[in-house]
Chains A and B, each alone.
Chain A
Amino acid sequence: MHELLMPGNGRRRLLLGNEAIVRGAVEGNVRFVAAYPGTPSSEIIDRFSQLALEAGIYAEYSVNEKVSMEVACAAAVSGVRSLCSMKHVGLNVAADAFMTLAYVGVKAGMVIVVADDPFLHSSQNEQDNRYYAKMAGVPMLEPSTPEEARAMTTEALDLSEEYGIPCILRTTTRVNHCRGPVTFGDLPSKAPAAVFKKDPFNLVVVPMVGRKLRLALLDKLKKLQDASEHSSLNFTEGSGKWGVVTSGASYLFVKDSVRDLELEGRVKVLKLGFTFPYPKAVIRDFMSDLEKVLVVEELDPFLEEAVRITAQEAGLPVLVAGKGDDLVPRAFELDAVKVKKAMSSFFQVDYEPPEVFTAPQLPSRPPNLCPGCPHRATYYSVKKVFGDEAVYPTDIGCYTLGVLPPLRMADFLICMGSGVSTAGGFSKVLDQPVVAFIGDSTFFHSGITGLINGISHDHRFLLVVLDNGTTAMTGHQPHPGIELTPEGKIEPKVSLEKVIAGCGVKHAATVNPLQVKKTQDVLQELRRTMKEPGVSVLISKSPCPLYENRLLGKRRKVVFEVDESSCDLCKRCLEDLGCPAFSWSTSAAGDTCIRINEALCSGCSVCAQICKSIRPKKIGEGKGGNE
């Protein structure tokens, strides 16, 4: 039995926040889950897909976040509780569906988990998604710990169903990827039957229906306001003439700060779990006898604005502060020390921040494409054919790491799919070759429309689709075009080649980038086709070795070694290819030499194709293996 499906009976387990959300959803009788993976939310859909069969839940890796929200809302409109999860920027992709789904609403509970990433641990920006709840007018809950994440997921489902509107569960990296003790609740016994009742004048949003639903939404918001005012998720702790308003992970830092700054009896804390509609009366009552209030929250002043508005409307003479110099920083994550600094400065109590030692000057350790990664081989060949003068728009995935030296094969990136569309724009204004990169999963996610646009407007660029047969970056999730699955090799359900041909691409070719000469020949040919307007496409196809080895239990048969007697130390292997298995080293005789670390080499053979001094070397049975 999957750990997350075990019966309750007071069982306590250390769960990742994301696992706690899954458990809460199972307890809340979710039967339909859809998501596109994205850090820090990916483990939610990963766990669901592991336990789906056993739990009688439908779970899918959708093609993108918008699609995931649409399929999940159809289930909820048909009376089946559903969940979709995404990273913060995923909601940008799904925003079109989201904004009007708020109007149409749901029949069964629907939770939209949105995982913000303050400090951009693995994201392109740190937008504060709480504003989406406000913009759409949907309720929002914000947990602080894995235990709360479990409970609030169940509560969000109930709330959503009661008011007939989807509910946001807004988390941050430090909730999703925090592990803490979670007490299991009871599991539901059976799934409800799905029923769709035709009701076009409430479900088909033409303007006259939309107008009606707009008013209905405002009415729901009033009722939700009431729910928020009475919610046990908003509560006060402690007492005093000063106050702190907080939510999410920040609450934990505040608790430690109150204790360490010895503010007990002087500061009371309002912890908000139901943050939209924010509980105006609760905030007003909290502040009614306070001299000053500090709002402690990560990212933008969302609660601070709520508190200021409330104070102003109620005519309270309380001093409100939040974001600002010496107070709560707006950028990046908070921690206990930052919060102590802000609270001590605002409440004017003594605090000696810890002395912080500086680390000595150290070599950096940036992440890198794995040894044997086919992306490196593709970049190598493209650079040989197009050189430094070409403009290289790129996209989001492992291959974005190609931005680092020595490859330096990324010039522009804003979001998923932007590689293709921006290439078209660049090609219209620049007199340089433009070569765009996009991964296979990202192509299905949001590259297709850009390609169609480019073709229909005669944009002139080469699109290189880096097809490694998986969504590698987020943990090797499937996508529509995969051939390699845990159950074995399959015919792809959606063929990348056919989609690209179907979009109207005239010059397309597929290569295995691990065959260097062939790849460069094909690239030369495609370069010639670029004399004419139009989009040419190269599908550079070779599976992610990490994924392939894991699935197929493949073991290396050869590794490669440098023949030191013929190596003339030209360093091309290091400076042009840059496989991390190479190193600049010292031979037994004390001479400088280049070595290949046998433990790291995946045996891809690319280096041996660019240098005659690199040769294969058989490895003994049982040794090796790329674990």
Chain B
Amino acid sequence: MTQAEQTFQALRIFFTGVGGQGTLLATRLVGEAALEEGLPVAMSEIHGMAQRGGVVESSVVVGNVCSPTIADGEADIVLAFEPLEAARALPKCHSKTLVISSTVPVVPFTVATGQAEYPAIEDLLGAVRSRVASVIEVDTAALARDAGSERAANLVMLGVLAGTGRLPVSMKSWQEALRRILPERVQEVNRRAFQTGYTLGREL
């Protein structure tokens, strides 16, 4: 057991992304892996606008805590599937938060029409970095492509989270959760994507 595991009390993970990025599936997999590991877990999702390009937010709370939602200033980890949304989630963070963010932008319509400008990625993640303990940047598109499909970017992100070891969940439990929840035809590519992310998370 590592030190982190011995002192593990509770972990609040906030997920944010854009409709269509598979954030809810990733959220579910974290919950399933935690349950597999025998940890107390609660999750919360906001459905509704996911298909129509809006922001999708969800949360997983593991350990000795009851509230299924995460208030401002309470997230221990933020998993941002899009860099603009990483910056938007800053109010969820505290100074010790670990932010794992994709560096691949999904341009909102307000930007596409010229009503607003998409900030530089460095500025977005810089604003986050100046406030929180650490930011892991993930080029999800490249890594997912290497793994076999850009659509598996969500599993790369999940792999990075698993690789950091912040959540006391064994590889066996992660594997079991993937096996049970992912549809058969995407198992292989998603496992590869998870492994790619895991290796990255481990190295950091």
| In the complex, chain A residues whose CB is within 8 Å of the CB of B117 | 363
Of A126-134, A251-259, A283-291, A456-464, the segment with at least 4 beta carbons within 8 Å of chain B is A251-259
| In the complex, chain B residues whose CB is within 8 Å of the CB of A575 | 113
| In the complex, chain B residues whose CB is within 8 Å of the CB of A179 | 28, 31, 42-45
* A49 interfacial by beta-carbon distance below 8 Å: no
Tell me the complex Cα distance, A178–B113, Å. Answer: 36
Q: Say yes or no: B47 contacts A578, CB within 8 Å.
A: no
Q: Say yes or no: A401 contacts B52, CB within 8 Å.
A: yes
Tell me the complex Cα distance, A253–B127, Å. Answer: 30
Tell me the complex Cα distance, A174–B67, Å. Answer: 10
* A565 interfacial by beta-carbon distance below 8 Å: no
By Cβ-Cβ distance, the 4 closest A-B pairs, closest first, are A354-B73, A367-B54, A363-B116, A583-B112
- Chain A, interface residues (CB within 8 Å), range: 35 or more
* A406 interfacial by beta-carbon distance below 8 Å: yes
B37-70 interface with A by 8 A CB criterion: 40-49, 51-55, 65-70
Given contacts A363-B84, A583-B107, contact A355 B73 (CB under 8 A): yes
| In the complex, chain B residues whose CB is within 8 Å of the CB of A369 | 52
B45 CB to closest chain A CB (Å) equals: 5
* B110 interfacial by beta-carbon distance below 8 Å: yes
B129-182 interface with A by 8 A CB criterion: 131, 151
Given contacts A179-B42, A337-B73, contact A252 B54 (CB under 8 A): no
* A402 interfacial by beta-carbon distance below 8 Å: no
| Contact among B52, B65, B67, B95 with A367 in the assembled complex (CB-CB below 8 Å) | B52
Tell me the complex Cα distance, A16–B35, Å. Answer: 14
Given contacts A365-B53, A582-B112, contact A122 B73 (CB under 8 A): no
| In the complex, chain B residues whose CB is within 8 Å of the CB of A366 | 54, 108-110
Q: Say yes or no: B52 contacts A255, CB within 8 Å.
A: no
Name 8 interchain pairs, CB-CB below 8 A, sorted by A.
Answer: A181-B35, A252-B67, A253-B66, A357-B73, A359-B91, A364-B110, A365-B108, A583-B111
* A39 interfacial by beta-carbon distance below 8 Å: yes
Given contacts A39-B48, A178-B42, A365-B53, contact A355 B119 (CB under 8 A): no
Q: Say yes or no: B72 contacts A365, CB within 8 Å.
A: no
Q: Say yes or no: A365 contacts B54, CB within 8 Å.
A: yes
| In the complex, chain A residues whose CB is within 8 Å of the CB of B118 | 363
Q: Say yes or no: A252 contacts B68, CB within 8 Å.
A: yes
- Chain B, interface residues (CB within 8 Å), range: 35 or more
Tell me the complex Cα distance, A354–B84, Å. Answer: 23
Q: Say yes or no: B87 contacts A359, CB within 8 Å.
A: yes
* B114 interfacial by beta-carbon distance below 8 Å: yes
* Chain A residues engaging chain B, CB cutoff 8 angstroms: 12, 14, 16, 39-40, 121-122, 145, 173-174, 177-181, 249, 251-253, 255-256, 333, 335-338, 353-360, 362-370, 398, 401, 405-406, 546, 574-575, 578, 580, 582-584, 627
Q: Say yes or no: B65 contacts A145, CB within 8 Å.
A: no
Given contacts A367-B53, A368-B53, A574-B113, contact A181 B41 (CB under 8 A): yes
Q: Say yes or no: A177 contacts B45, CB within 8 Å.
A: yes
Given contacts A180-B42, A338-B71, A365-B53, contact A584 B47 (CB under 8 A): no
| Contact among A122, A178, A578 with B44 in the assembled complex (CB-CB below 8 Å) | A178
| In the complex, chain A residues whose CB is within 8 Å of the CB of B109 | 365-366, 368, 578, 580
| In the complex, chain B residues whose CB is within 8 Å of the CB of A363 | 84, 108, 110-111, 115-119
* Chain B residues engaging chain A, CB cutoff 8 angstroms: 18-19, 28, 31-32, 35, 40-49, 51-55, 65-74, 84-85, 87-91, 93-95, 107-119, 123-124, 127, 131, 151
A5 CB to closest chain B CB (Å) equals: 17
| Contact among A12, A256, A401 with B66 in the assembled complex (CB-CB below 8 Å) | A256
| In the complex, chain B residues whose CB is within 8 Å of the CB of A584 | 112-114
Tell me the complex Cα distance, A357–B96, Å. Answer: 12
| In the complex, chain B residues whose CB is within 8 Å of the CB of A255 | 66
A514 CB to closest chain B CB (Å) equals: 19
B11 CB to closest chain A CB (Å) equals: 14
Q: Say yes or no: A362 contacts B73, CB within 8 Å.
A: no
Q: Say yes or no: A14 contacts B43, CB within 8 Å.
A: yes
| In the complex, chain A residues whose CB is within 8 Å of the CB of B113 | 406, 574-575, 578, 582-584
Q: Say yes or no: B42 contacts A12, CB within 8 Å.
A: no
Given contacts A14-B32, A179-B44, A355-B94, contact A337 B74 (CB under 8 A): yes
Q: Say yes or no: B49 contacts A365, CB within 8 Å.
A: no
Tell me the complex Cα distance, A518–B47, Å. Answer: 37
Tell me the complex Cα distance, A181–B70, Å. Answer: 18
Tell me the complex Cα distance, A578–B68, Å. Answer: 38
Q: Say yes or no: A145 contacts B42, CB within 8 Å.
A: yes
| In the complex, chain A residues whose CB is within 8 Å of the CB of B119 | 360, 362-363
Tell me the complex Cα distance, A612–B84, Å. Answer: 35
Given contacts A354-B72, A362-B88, contact A335 B46 (CB under 8 A): no
B18 CB to closest chain A CB (Å) equals: 7
Tell me the complex Cα distance, A401–B52, Å. Answer: 10
Nearest CB to that of A353 among chain B residues? B73
| In the complex, chain B residues whose CB is within 8 Å of the CB of A583 | 107, 111-113
Tell me the complex Cα distance, A256–B71, Å. Answer: 12
Tell me the complex Cα distance, A364–B131, Å. Answer: 22
Q: Say yes or no: A356 contacts B68, CB within 8 Å.
A: no
Q: Say yes or no: A14 contacts B67, CB within 8 Å.
A: no
| Contact among A121, A178, A359 with B88 in the assembled complex (CB-CB below 8 Å) | A359
Q: Say yes or no: A122 contacts B48, CB within 8 Å.
A: yes
| In the complex, chain A residues whose CB is within 8 Å of the CB of B18 | 365
Q: Say yes or no: B41 contacts A367, CB within 8 Å.
A: no
A443 CB to closest chain B CB (Å) equals: 21
Q: Say yes or no: B94 contacts A354, CB within 8 Å.
A: yes
Tell me the complex Cα distance, A178–B32, Å. Answer: 14
Q: Say yes or no: A178 contacts B68, CB within 8 Å.
A: yes
